[in-house]
Amino acid sequence: MANLFRELRDPETGRWLPKEVWYRVRGAIAVFLSLAVLLGGGWFVYGKVHDAWLGYRTAEDYIDPAGVADVVVEIPQGSSTKKIADILLAADVIRTGKAFERVAASDPNVRKIQYGLYKLRTQIPAKTALQMLLDPANQIKNQFQIREGLRLSEVLTSLAESTRVSERDFQAALKNRAALGLPSWIGKSNEGFIFPDTYNLPLKPTAGSILKLPITEFKKTVQDLGFEERAAALGYKPYQVLVMASIIEREVGRDEDRAKVARVFYNRLEKGMLLQSDATVAFAVNKTGTVWTTPKERQSNSPYNTYKHKGLPPGPITAPARKALEAALSPADGKWLYFVPINLDTGETVFSETLAEHNAATAKLQQWCLASAENRKKCS
């Protein structure tokens, strides 16, 4: 630095040399200007590249996982990935359906998305939207349940209470059978296909949209079970097997007994015997809450009275759940013609091949019923 200043002064007088100072200042300015041009150009190029990259990223997808505002979306039952993408796009949750479909294609968990209502955010990345749909915490729980073993009138009463849609509306919706989309082999009765399960209530519930949920689940279940093909393999029509499953649903309390009871009834049918199912008699006389019947009730002339009429009743007596459907399709191996529970608390049931064996088992049930006042109530 000292040498630099010596070069800018006269060695004899020590005075500044204006011309030398000017040369040095001009050189410094030139270097500074060159550097400024270089930096400015670099910043300009960076800005253009950044804008191009940002534009590329946001052309198909939003980038802020926080989003803009809350939004509620409804994912219908059985929606495909494309259908979900279209719904999210319409609600401005995602920027393009293509972005969501691409993210979903790389995540096998997309199949776990449940139908129902979800609280999401608008303008979020497709990946964030998928994560939110897979998180149960974001699902709005507004559910109703259809319990196993209920006849249709009980189901409609329960639905009216839990959904605030009138029974009259449900009955009207059931009359429009073409709109229900039922399998072609379903009979005229409305019993049998309002599948028991727990469902998420639609955003704007109507009788039709509510009934669509259990009916869709019924169709999916019979398809999964290969119902028509397996019924044919048994030598029965699918509707007959559905009727059988409905009887099993009402007659059997324990999982391990369903296939055995199915075998008892199939054996009786094949031998031309009366089914003698108390559950069908209870249905015939409109008795709910129990399958126990009286001798007088078993004299009913209803075609559902299998103490009087041979063969299966003309229609289901309830909507069977999957386990009863499976039992009707896969009866156990055995020659049993009779069954009777001998302990109503445990459900213990005796299966017999002869009437003598059955009478002995029935005597055990009678002993159990007489063992206490509480037991007598359960046997009435």
Tokens of 266: 């199939």
Residues 187-195: what's their mean pLDDT? 95
48 pLDDT above the threshold of 80: no
State the chain's mean pLDDT as an integer: 87
Distance (Å, whole) CA 195 – CA 271? 31
Supply the pTM of this predicted model. Answer: 0.74
Is pLDDT above 90 for 132? yes
pLDDT digit string (tens) for 104-118? 998 999 988 988 889
Q: 84-102: per-residue pLDDT in tens?
A: 999 999 999 999 999 999 9
Question: Which pLDDT score, from 0 to 100, does residue 223 have?
Answer: 96
Contact 112, 134 (CB under 8 A): yes
pLDDT for position 141: 80
Q: What's the pLDDT at 147?
A: 93
> Tens digits of per-residue pLDDT, 325-368?
999 999 999 999 999 999 988 989 999 999 999 999 999 999 99
Share of the chain above pLDDT 90, in %: 66
340-350 burial, b at 16+ Cβ within 10 Å, e below that, comes to bbbeeeeeebb
- Tell me the pLDDT band of 208, cut-offs 50, 70 and 90: very high
**Residue 351 backbone dihedrals phi, psi, to 5 degrees:** -110, 135
Taking residues 75-89, report their average pLDDT: 91
Rounded CA-CA distance 178/190 in Å is 13
Residue 39 pLDDT: 59
| Residue 43 reports pLDDT greater than 90 | no
Highest mean pLDDT pick, 22-26, 239-243, 299-303: 239-243
Superfamily of domain 70-140: Endolytic murein transglycosylase (3.30.1490.480)
340 strand-pairing partners: 350
Q: Where are the domains of the chain?
A: 2-60, 70-140, 143-224, 227-378
Predicted confidence at residue 378, as pLDDT, reads 84
Reported as a single tens digit per residue, the pLDDT across 294-334 is: 889 999 999 999 999 999 999 999 999 999 999 999 999 99
